[in-house]
Every structure is written in C-alpha cells, then in structure tokens.
Structure 1
C-alpha cells in the first residue's frame, strides 16, 4: 500500500482538473468558459476561440492518427503559440492540464485494486493496471509536439516559461511535472552525442557558446578563440532533435599542474601551454544552456565522457580537477559567519580584530574588498580561508553540501582539494566569494569511496582543507 500511495502522491498533479489549483484572479473555471458564449473580464481567449483551440489540440492528440499526421497538426499549433501572448499561452497550458489528463476515477479504481491485492501475482497485475491508468492523452499530445522539426526545442522552451512563473501559480505544475518526466527519457545520456567544439566549428554554434557561457562571461571573439586554442578543449552534449544547440558544455585547460587562478586561463596574450608536458586537465567552466531541462541531470556523464576522450588523446594525463567558483560563500558568511568565527581561539580573534576593526563577519567582509592586497600572513586572509574551508568541508543541509557547485562535483565523486586566494577578481567573483575559488579533484580510483562518504553525510576533503577547517 505504501508504494501505491507514494506513486499516487508523486503523480496526483497529472490527474484531470488539477484538483486543488486556484484560478488566476477572478477568472471563471475553464469548463465554464468552454460552455459560455461571451468573454468575461480579463480572459485571454473568447469562449469560441477557446473551443477552437481545444479542437486543434484534440486533433494533435487523436489516437486514430499516426504520429506523423499528429505532428503536422502540432506544427499548426506551434505557429499559433509563437504568435500568442502570455495570457493566451496560459489558456493553452490549462487545456492541456484539465482536458488531457488521466481519468481520476479510473486512476482511483486502479489504486484501490493495488491496495486490495493479496498476493504477488495480484499485486503485479494491479501494478500494471495502475501504470496504464496513469497514461493520459496529454502524454500523447506532448509526444506529438516532439515529432516535427523544432518540436523538441519548442517543448523545452515552453517548460522554461513554466519554470519562470511565480511560485504562487500552482495550477500549471501538472504540465511541468509531465514535461520533466518525458524529458528524463528523451534526454537520456545514451541518446546524446558528445562533440568536440573548436575554432573551426560553425559560427552559429560558436555564437551559442558565447550566449550560454554561465560561469565566466566570454567578452569577445578573441576571448573565445583563446578558450579554443591548441592547449584547450571544449566538449558539449547534443540531442539528435536539437543538433545545433549544446545542452551542456565544458571548457578544459591542459596544464602541468593544478590551476590556481582564472587570470592566466583567460589571458588572451599568454602563449599556449606545452602539450608534451601536460599532465592535468582543468575543467574551468561547465554551463547548462537549457533552463527547460532543469531536473534532467547529465553533467556527471559529461565529465565521465570527457575524461575518457581526453585520456585517449593524451595518455599522460594523470590529474583531473576543476577550478570552480564558490557562489554561495559570501551569502553564507554574512548569515552564519559569526558562529564560524566564534570558533577561532582568542589569539586569532585578537589578531582579526586588530586587522579588520572587529572579529565578527561584518568586519571581516568589509576588510575583504581588495583580497589581492592582503599578504599571505594577514589575519583577515587566514579568517576568510578558515570560513571558506568550513563552508565547503563541513556545512551541510539534509546531508548535502550547501554550495550548489559543490553538490554537483562532490555528488559525482570528486573531493574538495584546494582553496585558491584571489583566484577570480572579476566583479562576479568578488561578489560571490571575495575572489576565492576551489579545486575539486576527480581521483578516478576513489570516486566510489567519495560518493560513499557523501552518502553518510561526510564531505570528502583533502588533508589541506581538513587542516584549514581547524581553528
């Protein structure tokens, strides 16, 4: 019974009518609008136009039609959607939710059958019936939109619109949930293609790298050319139905040691590194490009595929690591820094107070406006490194690292390897983490061990980070 209850709880939003949802403003329920003659108030579509839209959607989802024919009808609706305003698009979403969902009565009957099952055989049969009851014409509707050229991108962009809605607009979450469920299958890593991107790639594709770079902005074509130089590599995952859009891409620098700063990596005048001496691959930027694919994870597989590809090309590579931002550090320090700094001994507190004017987080942050000017032995620098090591190596929520980038890499089996002072002095780097960056090390022989530690709520860290964590 518990399994069935959990399944129904997870999928209850797919049920016809989106039970419990609230209408926008004073708008009439959708069924009343479909049966009405005249438009009322701020309703986007007239009853006549709403009924016509429903008929067009029913044509797309018609089980009697082939997928190809249904896809042709979907193209017509995609053209309508492109010209529709935001309010009309919401009517489209509501029709998909309320008119194409699973039958609530059939679903409840299937659940009751499962709950009454008295043997393994009956339970297996009831499970199949429950799965069939969850299949709706909405699934077929969305699948038909994925058929024509541009259809997959249309659905991904539509989900991005849904995700951008205010949290208060709960009536659309059923459509979001079903799209995420479908995308988890359609964008399975086994269906994706890993491609190497270089300066000879089509200009339209290179423009997308500039557009979607989310970690370190690409300032110019010269900047991009530097990132695609002979000592660099760039790889992206592509879907066959979206062949000209990298879903996620990673930028790699080939070096002879761990990178400790972004400046030499982004220096357009610097000479290319000697590949004959390269033993380290640094992943210095990983960017997801499609907001609509939120919740669909393929970043870990990207890194695995890239490591395999690099090893084949450069057998001497022994070290795989990142040079990563720490986006949540300053915010955490502002809220919880006082508690962390309270663990310093009296001598350390006195030194910090003398250097920063106070031993609390507010004074520490104020003293970090120009991190590059602080000397190695600065009490301010020492306190900031202590807090950063604690944030990355100790702080968790529900057993998971607080920092989003840390969750990604540590979840893939990396460990927190090294903190780098004044590593990103861009306005973004200073705002997020006072210029600090971190190396996450992918030790290929210990990935499973690190995942196991993380599953126990223990963050895998190097001895250097462990030492910094101690006041």
Structure 2
C-alpha cells in the first residue's frame, strides 16, 4: 500500500499546485475539478475509511503560504455551488461540513486579531470594508469617512495567516441614548469632528457583515462583539449601555405570506381587527387581504401618511410576534434575532420607521429592533435561551405580543 499512497500524495501535490496557481478564474471549474479529484482518484480502500482522505490534503494546504485563503475561497465556492445546485451530492455536502469544521478550528479566537479602521487605514482596507457592507450600503467616500470618523467606530477581525484582510466587520455608533432609527446614524453628519467624551454614554452596534462567504457558520460574530465591548470599555469607561440597532430581514415576506394564505380563505381576515380593516378599506377602497398584500409588496403604503398611521399599530404587534413567537425548532425564526438572543441579549425595543430606505421598507415595513446587552446578564440569558428556548424581552415587546394575542389570529 505504501507505493499507491506515495503516488496518491504526489497527485495531491500536483493538483494542489494547479489549484493554487493562477491558471483559472472559473470558480465552478476549480470546484468541480477538486471534487472529481477527491471523489475519483482515491482507491476503494481509502473510500471505506471513516476519515475522508481530503482532510489530510486540507491540513497540508492550511500550512502553506496562501493555503488558508485558498481553503476559505474553496468553501465559498462549495457553499455557492450547493445553493445553486451547480454541484450536489452527499460527498459534496460532507466535504463542505468537514471543511467548515476545520476552518472553525483554524479561525478560533487565538488566531484572530482585532483591528480598528480609521480614515488613515490603507485604501485597500477601506475599499473592502465599503464593498462588504451588507446591512446599510455605503454610498460614497464621504459616507465611508463619516462611518469611521467622530462618534463612530469600525472594527474587524483578521487572521494571523491572512494579515490585514477583513473577515468580519462591526460598525458602532457612539451616542447619548439608544438609537431608534438608522437615519440618524448613517445619514446625519455627526455634530463635531472632535468627540466630546462626556456626550458618549451608549454604544450602538448597527451593522455586522461577514466579508468571507467561505466562513459562513464559523463562529466569528459573537467573539467580535465581545472583543469590541472590552475595547470600548477600555477606551471609554463611561459607556453605560450596549445595544444593537438591527434590521428585521424576512418580516415583510412572512407577513405577505400570511396575507396570501388568508386571501385563499374567503372572509378570513384575522390579522387585523374589524375596525382596522374598516379604516384600511376607507383609504384603499378595498378590505381584501390581496389589496393589502400588493401595497406591502410595492411599498406604496408608505406614501400615504393616513394609511401609514392606520397600519402602525397592527404592524408593530405583528412584528413583535414575528420576533418573539415565530419559531424554527424552538428558537427564533428570524436569523438576526436568533443570533443576538443566543449571545444573551434582551429583545428590548421595536422601532416604527427605524429604516425608511426602500430596502428597509421592503424587508421589514421600515421597522427595526434593539437587542440590548446587559453585560452582567448575558451569560444567564444565553443559557436560558439555548437551554429552555425562552426569549428575554422588555415590557414594551411583551405588551405588543399581548396585543397580538388579543387582536390577531394566525
């Protein structure tokens, strides 16, 4: 068996050089070539072993200069290929899982460096931060300068083997209270170029973006928030409150889905009260779920101040229920809620018209949410959520949930 093994690893070296080279930019081709190699070039005796043979190749690549970056890019291609069905099969899913677990080990906190971004940071870093902003897109360089300037902080994790390369980015606003809308953070110009520390009592985490899709599922966000909290406590010990201002992706889609199901059942409009439907009918000329569904799908309702006012109470209670009561395997259905609740935050406040951008209106009817981190309670809150699947929520949220239970039926 020694000679075949020797030959096998020789082939691995050849394919490794080919894959690490600059001969192709076709991601699908590279991924398929790699998959064919790992699936077909191994002898039957290797296929029967419990440990996939490509694990050894991955370990070897991870020790090479540029190898870790390549493996992150390879997993990004696997994730993309599986999502698009360009590559499929149990062996592909297994490889994706193996590589994810290995990357989780390589990208543990001991190998990660916390770096702060300022306007004096290298242009390449600023450009990457701008390009990777997935929550609130950066409009131009003036906008970018504002986000790393006075009363703002921007941090990212890099890896010792990939220095200077942002892996995940966290944006922070330094304020005097817990922000209830994103416009005040990303659109308004901070009052002064020089910070007044006496005006800073609160840190708002308003955007966290993964820049490397190959690191999906690798626990980076939680560690980044914890490290940034410590950094801010060291720099600005007067900060009393830590909170997010978070989007609610999926809320509008969920609501439109409910309206669609109700429109199929004639006369069953139980998300809104009779008086609410009557007011909607007076303003739109129709009280059907189908009409409201179309309005919500096209953002048309925001243009009418009266209709927006009528929809305010029911949308707030429906959103509260979506975040608090809608579950997936016992945990919050909304992925952002699930992330912060796992970290031990409190579902603290739901904000009407927190994001009035077309994107915000389309995704969540303009509603945003604060997840507040009470540092002395995060460990117990996290244990309660993960162990008993209980969501810690404020009186405002619980009152909205109660209104939902009294006035709406799914």
In the TM superposition, what whole-angstrom CA distance separates every residue of 1:386-418 from its partner, at most 9, and x where no partner exists?
A: 111111121112111111111111111112111
> What CA RMSD, in Å, does the superposition of the two structures yield over aligned residues?
3.0
In the TM superposition, what whole-angstrom CA distance separates every residue of 1:267-313 from its partner, at most 9, and x where no partner exists?
A: 25442464312111000110001111112111111111111110111
Cα gap change, 1:83 to 1:284, in 2 (>3 Å)? closer
Match of 1:396 among 308, 327, 343: 327
Q: Which residue of 1 aligns with 2:270?
A: 342
Q: Which residue of 2 aligns with 1:262?
A: 182
SS in 2 for 1:321: strand
Cα gap change, 1:195 to 1:101, in 2 (>3 Å)? farther
Cα gap change, 1:343 to 1:375, in 2 (>3 Å)? closer
In the TM superposition, what whole-angstrom CA distance separates every residue of 1:335-371 from its partner, at most 9, and x where no partner exists?
A: 1257796155444444444445426375166165353
SS in 2 for 1:297: coil
1:88 CA displacement? 5.8
Give the whole-Å Cα distance in 1 for the aligned partners of 2:132 and 2:159.
16
Give the whole-Å Cα distance in 2 for the aligned partners of 1:149 and 1:394.
48
1:176 CA displacement? 1.7
Cα gap change, 1:193 to 1:389, in 2 (>3 Å)? same
Matched, 1:287 2:206: no
Q: Which residue of 2 aligns with 1:64?
A: none
In the TM superposition, what whole-angstrom CA distance separates every residue of 1:131-181 from its partner, at most 9, and x where no partner exists?
A: xx52x5422212222233322111111111111113462152232222112
Q: Which residue of 2 aligns with 1:302?
A: 224
1:73 CA displacement? 8.5
Cα gap change, 1:79 to 1:447, in 2 (>3 Å)? same
Q: Which residue of 2 aligns with 1:92?
A: 34
Contact 2:256 2:293 in 1 (8 A): no
Give the whole-Å Cα distance in 2 for the aligned partners of 1:365 and 1:462.
33
Give the whole-Å Cα distance in 2 for the aligned partners of 1:341 and 1:318.
45
Q: Which residue of 1 aligns with 2:376?
A: 445
Gaps of 5+ in 2: 263-267
Match of 2:71 among 147, 155, 162: 155
Contact 2:347 2:371 in 1 (8 A): yes
Contact 1:183 1:296 in 2 (8 A): yes
Give the whole-Å Cα distance in 1 for the aligned partners of 2:161 and 2:383.
36
Q: How many residues align?
A: 383
User: Normalising by the residue count of structure 2, what TM-score does the alignment of the two structures yield?
Assistant: 0.84
Cα gap change, 1:277 to 1:85, in 2 (>3 Å)? closer
Q: Which residue of 2 aligns with 1:428?
A: 359
Give the whole-Å Cα distance in 2 for the aligned partners of 1:423 and 1:208.
27
SS in 2 for 1:97: helix
Q: Which residue of 2 aligns with 1:59?
A: 10
Match of 1:468 among 379, 400, 404: 400
Contact 1:325 1:438 in 2 (8 A): yes
Q: How does 1:58-457 map to 2 (within 5 A)?
A: 58-59=9-10, 74-75=16-17, 77-79=19-21, 82=24, 86-87=28-29, 89-100=31-42, 103=45, 107=49, 134=51, 136-165=52-81, 166-167=84-85, 169-170=88-89, 171-267=91-187, 269-272=189-192, 274-337=196-259, 342=270, 344-356=272-284, 357-358=286-287, 360=289, 362-363=291-292, 366=295, 369-371=300-302, 374=305, 378-455=309-386, 456-457=388-389
Where has structure 1 moved over 6 Å in runs of 4 or more? 54-57, 338-341
Give the whole-Å Cα distance in 2 for the aligned partners of 1:314 and 1:57.
57
Q: Which residue of 2 aligns with 1:33?
A: none
Contact 1:355 1:380 in 2 (8 A): no
SS in 2 for 1:307: helix
Contact 1:57 1:141 in 2 (8 A): no
Give the whole-Å Cα distance in 2 for the aligned partners of 1:212 and 1:83.
21
Contact 1:159 1:179 in 2 (8 A): yes
Contact 1:97 1:138 in 2 (8 A): no
User: Normalising by the residue count of structure 1, what TM-score does the alignment of the two structures yield?
Assistant: 0.74
Contact 2:28 2:77 in 1 (8 A): no
SS in 2 for 1:146: helix
Give the whole-Å Cα distance in 1 for the aligned partners of 2:101 and 2:41.
19
Contact 1:100 1:138 in 2 (8 A): no
Give the whole-Å Cα distance in 1 for the aligned partners of 2:346 and 2:290.
27
